[in-house]
């Protein structure tokens, strides 16, 4: 690619994912048929789905109680599907951003929903830390990384109740004990693949307990029984996700990703802390390794900075419309080189301002 | 492509869709960024979504009461979403195959669901024709083409109540008065594009009448208000669908598609009726132009026939696992040439058997 791609999602993928998926549109796995035009019941695609599911288990070191699904509808559909499948009487949520708020709204359709803490009072610039999770909640839902604000949970809370996490924007980017979770979901379009599929890793032992009749397509058990092939899956999105997961594995897995992601984000935050023109958006202890949000202290420097990063071939640096300012997303596939280019542009802005 | 692709779905797409989408993975619309890695909020993708939506309206000549959406979850999610949004007290369904049966099952979650007629008694080999639709039903649901069995509705029933149609396997393949419908949905992966998106064309005037609280992601009005961009859409699937719709338009629209589809299916049915080795599966008056199902009269000929069509570079001819035999899907993008090759193979089988 010719650009330094800092988009927050859909976002940059490894070069070999572009190459292989582009080629598979012309001829998939030597079948003489396009990946867009092969039956999802073909042996060749069946292998892709199984490989994608097992790579998730392997990369996250998930125990055998977990089933991995590739569904549709994005994380937004999971806001609904999680309470449909897991909530009997009561759920608990940590409100750390817009996506958490949306998840809370959907949970309220199903019963009592306790917001244990919220950082809404300060534009979600921090992660709340002192709260109590009701011990009779069916689950506790967190958002491990908040794409819009650039906050990230560096401590995963200890809870008595099953922990459910929206990891859309930091899955596969750092080491956690993923077996501490009851359910993990992630829209593919950041660290896992292109838009169009959402990964769900769910403990089988948590299912079937609500007494609720669940519509077929929203029931995790429907998809578990059919190995994520109950109906036609989003074939291309699953294929490109599998390629991305293979790339993560070849790089050395999640541990290697964390190392390079730390290096990238340390470099950028150091510059933001040093350069007098810029101001980071988020409380220091809650800064995200994935999404770095900041603004210029003086709006008059904006035309210069914007011109310079555009000239440097950078795209996707605009902050989310609800926050403004800038956001540099440093997902797994973004090379260190791109961060260096951004830091140079910041320094050049300082010299010329 | 090197193969004659008769897959029932995901299925063959026009050559230029492979070329352009393969290229867009390397560089989309001159942005220097892959279609897999560009923000769905970018101007360039915004134009793709709008173009796809307006092409559907144009190709189907839909009036202004219709809104067109590109959602996720396939037709299977629509089995649920249709009654969620449209059913107040009672719905009516015509049962013409497995997909219709699944739609009926989901409707039953929401209230009284009347099956006005079913062809289940004869393995769905025909379309029931004598039935009465209750005048107090909130809608009447039909499946215009039954992919598995190879039946197609050649007469669209006149009803007092709004007509809802699953057109997954014959949309854009023939001329109908689409304005007679209240809601049309179609999984993309036959005539519209790759797997991963479902098109919904719905009359705004039918919505908001159930008194039911609808979860955000399942509410058509959520997506209408945000022009099908409430959450991250399946970017690549929408892009490839737009390319396919542009191709349909360039060929002369749905009218031109019908002409060539008729030619292709006439050729194949004529051979099936003539060739003493073969037996069509479906009642003559209900034969589908899209999916031609048949079997060999004598199982002993199977090894010969299978060898010959494999040698001719044909793929995807196996019948659905619930029916057996053979199925040749003749979607828009399948060239007449491929049908000629299949007919030649049938004749060669006759000579050599």
Domain ranges of chain A: 15-251, 253-352
What is the predicted pLDDT for the residue at A2? 81
Q: Is A130 left (phi over 0), alpha (psi -120 to 50) or beta?
A: beta
Cβ within 8 Å of residue B331, ≥6 positions away: B9, B11, B12, B173, B190, B191, B290
Residue A332, min C-alpha distance to chain B (Å): 13
Q: Which of A102, A106, A196 sits opposite B234 (nearest CB)?
A: A196
Measure the CA–CA gap between A110 and A85, rounded to whole angstroms: 10
Residues within 8 A of B (CB atoms), A 12-41 only: 12-13, 17-18, 21-23, 25-27, 31-34, 36-40
Task: Give the pLDDT confidence of B32-50 residue by residue, as tens digits.
Answer: 999 999 999 999 999 999 9
**Annotated catalytic residue within A190, A219, A295, A309:** A190
pLDDT of the residue at B290: 98
Q: Report how far residue B241's alpha carbon sits from residue B187's, in angstroms, rounded to the nearest whole number.
A: 11
Rounded to whole angstroms, how far apart are CA atoms A92 and A99?
Answer: 15
**Strand locations in B204-311, DSSP E?**
278-280, 291-296
Whether B1 has a pLDDT exceeding 70, the answer reads no
**Do A163 and A139 form a contact (C-beta atoms < 8 A)?**
yes
A 192-231 residues with CB < 8 A to B: 193-197, 213, 215-218, 230-231
Q: Band the pLDDT of A181: cuts 50, 70, 90.
A: very high
* DSSP output for B55-82: HHHHHTT--TTEEEEEESSHHHHHHHHH
Name the residue among A105, A189, A217 with its Cβ closest to that of B216: A105
d(CA A211, CA A114): 21
Query: Has A166 been annotated as catalytic?
Result: yes
Helices (H), A62-219: 74-86, 98-107
Residue A139 and residue A127: Cα distance in Å, rounded? 19
Please say whether the beta carbons of A17 and A244 come within 8 A: yes
Question: Are A80 and B217 within 8 A, CB to CB?
Answer: yes
Question: Is omega for the bond preceding A86 within 30 degrees of 0, making it cis?
Answer: no
Q: How far is CA B104 from CA A215, B94, B179, in A?
A: 12, 9, 24
Please answer yes or no on whether A10 and B235 come within 8 Å at the CB atom.
yes
B318: helix, coil or strand? strand
What residues contact residue A130 under an 8 Å CB cut-off, 6+ apart? A117
Residue B232 C-alpha from the chain's centroid: 24
Q: Which of B99, B138, B219, B264 is labelled catalytic? A: B99
pTM over 0.90: yes
Tokens of A114: 């306790």
Give the minimum alpha-carbon distance from B72 to chain A in angstroms, rounded to a whole number: 5
Q: List, as ranges, residues 60-99 from B with C-beta within 8 Å of A.
A: 72-77, 79-80
Which residues face A186 on adjacent strands?
Answer: A199
Q: How confident is the model at residue B2 (pLDDT cuts 50, 70, 90)?
A: confident
Contact state of B213 with A109 under an 8 Å Cβ cutoff: yes
Cβ-Cβ contacts under 8 Å for A269 (sequence gap 6 or more): A280, A287, A292
pLDDT band for position B99 (cuts 50, 70, 90): very high
SS3 B337: helix
Q: Tokens for A350?
A: 């300082």
First-to-last CA distance in chain A?
30
State how beta strands B140-143 and B112-118 pair: unpaired
Q: Do B231 and A315 touch (CB under 8 A)?
A: no
User: In chain B, what is the greatest distance between 2 CA atoms, to the nearest angstrom?
Assistant: 65
Provide the pLDDT for residue A1.
54
**Above pLDDT 90, what percent of chain B?**
99
pLDDT digits (tens, 9 = 90+) for B184-232: 999 999 999 999 999 999 999 999 999 999 999 999 999 999 999 999 9
Q: What integer is the mean pLDDT of B132-136?
A: 97
Quick check: B10 and A72 CB within 8 A? no
Q: Taking CA atoms, what residue in B is nearest to A321? A: B41
CB contact under 8 A, A1 and B313: no
Please give the average per-residue pLDDT across A135-159, as a whole number.
97
Contact B36 A18 (CB under 8 A): yes
> Chain-wide mean pLDDT for chain B?
97
Q: Which of B20, B138, B190, B295 is catalytic?
A: B190
Q: Which residue is catalytic, options B138, B166, B170, B286?
A: B166
pLDDT tens digits, A74-132: 999 999 999 999 999 999 999 999 999 999 999 999 999 999 999 999 999 999 999 99
CA distance B143 to B150: 12
Confidence of residue B302 (pLDDT cuts 50, 70, 90): very high
Give the whole-number percent of chain B exceeding pLDDT 70. 100
Give the burial string for A130-163 (b: 16+ CB within 10 Å, else e). eeebeeebbbbbbbbbbbbbbbbbeeeeebebbb
Average pLDDT, chain A: 97
What is the radius of gyration, based on Cα positions, of chain A?
A: 21
Tokens of B346: 């049938």
Q: Are B34 and A3 within 8 A, CB to CB? A: no
Reply yes or no on whether B57 is catalytic.
Answer: no
- Cβ separation A32–B3 shorter than 8 A: yes
Count CB atoms within 10 A of the CB of residue B252: 12
Q: pLDDT by residue (tens digit) across A189-227?
A: 999 999 999 999 999 999 999 999 999 999 999 999 999
Distance from first CA to last CA of chain B, Å, rounded? 30
d(CA B212, CA B223) in angstroms, rounded, equals 17
Closest CA to B42 of B198, B232, B199: B232
User: How many helices and strands (H and E) does chain B possess?
Assistant: 9, 14
**Residue A348, Cβ neighbours under 10 Å: how many?**
16
Mean pLDDT of A331-351: 98
How many other C-beta atoms are found inside a 10 Å radius of the C-beta of residue A256?
15
> Which strands make up the sheet holding B66-71, listed edge to edge?
B66-71, B198-203, B183-187, B163-166, B140-143, B90-95, B112-118
- Tell which residue, B286, B216, B126, has the closest CA to residue A98: B216
Look up the CATH architecture of domain A15-251: 3-Layer(aba) Sandwich (3.40)
Render B99-158 in DSSP notation, one character per residue. HHHHHHHHHTTTSEEEEEEE-GGGTT-S--------TT-S-EEEESEETTTTEE-SSPPP
Q: How far apart are CA A317 and CA B251, in angstroms?
A: 41
List CB contacts (< 8 A) between B14 and chain A: none
Contact (CB, 8 A) for A32 and B315? yes
Which residues of chain B are within 8 Å of residue A102 when distances are taken between CB atoms?
Answer: 216
List of chain A residues whose C-beta atoms are within 8 Å of the C-beta of residue B194: 36-37, 235-236
Name the catalytic one among A166, A170, A286, A295: A166
Is residue A283 scored above 60 in pLDDT?
yes
Q: How far is CA A261 from CA A5, A301, B97, in A?
A: 15, 29, 51
- Which residues of chain A from 271 to 330 reach within 8 Å of chain B, CB to CB? 313, 315-316
Question: How far A98 CA lies from chain B's nearest CA (Å)?
Answer: 12
Do the beta carbons of residue B161 and residue B138 sit within 8 Å?
Answer: yes
Whether residue A306 contacts residue A330, with contact meaning beta carbons closer than 8 Å, is answered with no
A to B CB pairs, distance under 8 Å: 200
Helix H or strand E segment including B274: helix B253-274
**Residue A291 Cα, gap to closest chain B Cα (Å):** 15
Phi, psi of A328 (to 5 degrees): -110, 115
Torsion of CA B187, B191, B194, B200, to 10 degrees: -30
Question: Which tokens sit at A22?
Answer: 């582009």
Query: Which of A23, A36, A217 has its CB closest to that of B240?
Result: A36
Burial of A260 (0-12, 13-18, 19+ CB in 10 A): middle
pLDDT at A153: 98
What is the DSSP secondary structure assignment for residue A323, as one 8-state letter? T
Read off the pLDDT band of B66 (50, 70, 90).
very high
* Min Cα separation B110/chain A (Å): 10
Catalytic annotation present for A247: no
CATH architecture assigned to B253-352: Alpha-Beta Complex (3.90)
Per the CB < 8 Å rule, is B231 touching A23? no
Here the contacts of B161-165 (C-beta below 8 Å, separation 24 or greater) are: B161/B92, B161/B133, B161/B134, B161/B135, B161/B137, B162/B86, B162/B138, B162/B203, B162/B206, B163/B139, B164/B82, B164/B86, B164/B139, B164/B140, B165/B141
For residue B77, the chain A residues in CB contact (below 8 A) are 72-73, 217
Alpha-carbon Rg for chain B in angstroms? 21
Answer yes or no: do A231 and B7 touch at CB < 8 A.
Answer: no
B135 or B2: which carries more pLDDT confidence?
B135
């Amino acid at each position: 690619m010719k650009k330094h791609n800092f988009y927050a999602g859909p976002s940059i993928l490894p070069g070999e994912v572009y190459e292989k998926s582009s080629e598979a549109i012309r001829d998939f796995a030597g079948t003489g048929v396009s990946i867009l035009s092969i039956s999802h019941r073909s042996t060749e695609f069946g292998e892709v789905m199984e490989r994608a599911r097992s790579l998730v288990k392997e990369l996250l070191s998930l125990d055998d109680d977990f089933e991995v699904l590739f569904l549709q509808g994005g994380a937004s559909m999971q806001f609904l599907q999680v309470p449909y499948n897991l909530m009997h009487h009561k759920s608990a949520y940590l409100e750390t951003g817009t996506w958490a708020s949306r998840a809370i709204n959907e949970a309220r359709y199903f019963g009592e929903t306790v917001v244990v803490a919220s950082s809404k009072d300060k534009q979600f610039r921090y992660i709340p830390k002192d709260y109590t999770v009701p011990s009779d909640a069916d689950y506790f839902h967190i958002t491990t990384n908040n794409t819009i604000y650039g906050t990230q949970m560096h401590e995963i809370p200890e809870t008595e109740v099953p922990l459910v996490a929206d990891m859309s924007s930091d899955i596969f980017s750092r080491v956690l004990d993923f077996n501490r979770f009851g359910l993990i979901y992630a829209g593919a379009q950041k660290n896992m693949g292109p838009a169009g599929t959402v990964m769900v890793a769910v403990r089988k032992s948590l299912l079937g307990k609500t007494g609720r009749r669940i519509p077929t397509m929203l029931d995790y058990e429907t998809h578990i029984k059919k190995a994520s092939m109950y109906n036609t899956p989003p074939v291309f999105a699953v294929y490109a996700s599998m390629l991305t997961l293979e790339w993560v594995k070849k790089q050395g897995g999640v541990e290697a990703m964390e190392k390079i992601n730390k290096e990238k984000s340390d470099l950028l935050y150091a510059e933001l802390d040093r350069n007098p023109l810029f101001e980071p958006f988020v409380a220091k202890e809650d800064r995200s390794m994935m999404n770095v949000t900041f603004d210029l202290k003086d709006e008059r420097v904006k035309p210069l900075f914007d011109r310079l990063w555009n000239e440097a071939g950078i795209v996707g640096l605009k902050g989310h419309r609800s926050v403004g300012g800038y956001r540099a997303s440093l997902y797994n596939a973004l090379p260190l080189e791109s961060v260096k280019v951004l830091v140079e542009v910041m320094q050049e802005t300082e010299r010329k301002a």
